[in-house]
Amino acid sequence: MSLARASRLTPYMFLAPAALVLAVALFYPICYMIYASFLDWNPSQRIGEADFVGIRNYIKLFGDPNFRESLWVTLKFAGIVVTLEMIIGVGLALLLDRNIRGMSVLRTLFILPMMIAPIVVGLMWRYMYHPTVGIFNKTLTSLGFDSVPWLSDGSWAFASVIIADIWQWTPFIFILSLAALQSLPSSAIEASKIDGATAWQQIVYIKLPLMLPVLIVTLLLRLIDSFKVLEVILVMTNGGPGLSTEILSLRINRTASEFRELGEAAAMSNLLLIVLLILTFAMFIYNKAQDARAARLRAVEEEA
C-alpha cells in the first residue's frame, strides 16, 4: 500500500470503531422497530412467532380516533410551547444582555430549571397543582378566589403541562439567545447608535436579523425535543383527563405496556421518527444554505 493511499485511509480507520458502535446501537434497533411494525406482535410472543400483517398496523392507526387525537395534542403542544418559549427566552436574553451588578447570579438562576430531572419536574408541578394543598390553589383561596381544577379538567390540564414545560425549557432558549447576542459584532451596534437608532430599532433592525441563524437552529432543536416529551406529562397527568394531555410518545408507551400491542407501538414510533427526521433534515438543509450564503459573501468580498 502506497503512503498516499494509507494517509487517505487513516481517517476512515479511526472512524471505523465509532461507525461500528453506531450501527449496532442505532441502526439495528431502528431496523428492528421497522420490521416489528409489520407484525401482529404482543409481549407473550417472540418476534419470530408473530404473524406478518403488512401495513395493517399503519392503516389501523389512521383509522383510530384516539391516535389522531394524540397526534393533534402533540402538534398543538409542540407549537404552543415552542412559540412561547422562543418569545420569552429571546425577550429575557435581550433584557439581560447588559452589565448590571449581580447579573451573573441572575443568569445562573434562570438556567436552574433546565438542570432538574424531568421526573422531579413532573412531581414538583404535580404537588403545586394539588387541588387542596397545592401552592396555587392555597394562594387563590387565601385571596378569596375559587380553586382551579388544574389537573382534573381537560383544558386546565393541557395549560398546566404547557406551563411546566415552559418553566423547564425556556432557559435553553435563553442561553443560546444570550450567547448569540454576546457574539454579535459590536461595530454594527455602535454604528446604529451613531446613526441615532433607538434601543427598539437596534433590536428590530440589527440584533434580531443578526441572531436569526442561531434562533432558527434553536427553534428547530427545541421543536424536535418537544415531540419527545414524556416523563413530565406521564408524572403529572398520565395523559388525562381523557386524552387531553396524551401526546404521541405517551400513546406509544401505553400501547406497548398497557394494550400490549407491540406492532402498533412500533408503527407509531416509526411515524414519530419520520416527523423528527423531517425536522432534522430541515435544520441540516438550513445550515447548508447558511454555509453556502456565507461562502458567496466571502467570495464577493474577495473580488471587491
Q: What does the alpha-carbon distance between residue 240 and residue 64 come to, in Å, rounded to a whole number?
A: 18
**What are the domain boundaries of the chain?**
71-303
Q: What does the alpha-carbon distance between residue 115 and residue 163 come to, in Å, rounded to a whole number?
A: 17
Task: Please name the residue that has the C-alpha cell 449581580.
Answer: 102
Quick one: how far is CA 233 from the chain centroid?
14
Please state whether beta strands 51-52 and 39-40 pair in parallel, antiparallel, or not at all (unpaired).
antiparallel
pLDDT value of residue 300: 74
DSSP string, 56-107: HHHHHHHT-HHHHHHHHHHHHHHHHHHHHHHHHHHHHHHHH-S--TTHHHHH
Q: Which of 91, 73, 60, 255 is nearest to 171 (CA)?
A: 91
- pLDDT tens digit string along 274-284? 988 888 888 88
Helix (H, G, I), strand (E, B) or coil at 132: coil
Check pLDDT > 60 for residue 124. yes
Quick one: how far is CA 268 from the chain centroid?
18
- pLDDT tens digit string along 9-29? 778 888 888 888 888 888 888
- pLDDT tens digit string along 161-194? 999 999 999 999 998 998 899 888 888 888 888 8
Encoded amino acid at 131, one letter? P
β-sheet bridge partners, residue 51: 40
| pLDDT category of residue 1 using cuts at 50, 70 and 90 | low
**Percent share of the chain, pLDDT over 90:** 44
Helix (H, G, I), strand (E, B) or coil at 281: helix
Cβ contact 206:189 at 8 Å: yes
Q: Which CATH class is domain 71-303?
A: mainly alpha
- pLDDT tens digit string along 209-244? 888 888 988 998 899 899 989 999 999 999 989 899
Please state which of the ranges 19-23, 140-144, 290-294 shows the lowest mean pLDDT.
Answer: 290-294
DSSP string, 175-229: HHHHHHHHTS-HHHHHHHHHTT--HHHHIIIIIHHHHHHHHHHHHHHHHHHHTT-
Please state which of the ranges 70-84, 143-157, 175-189 shows the lowest mean pLDDT.
Answer: 175-189
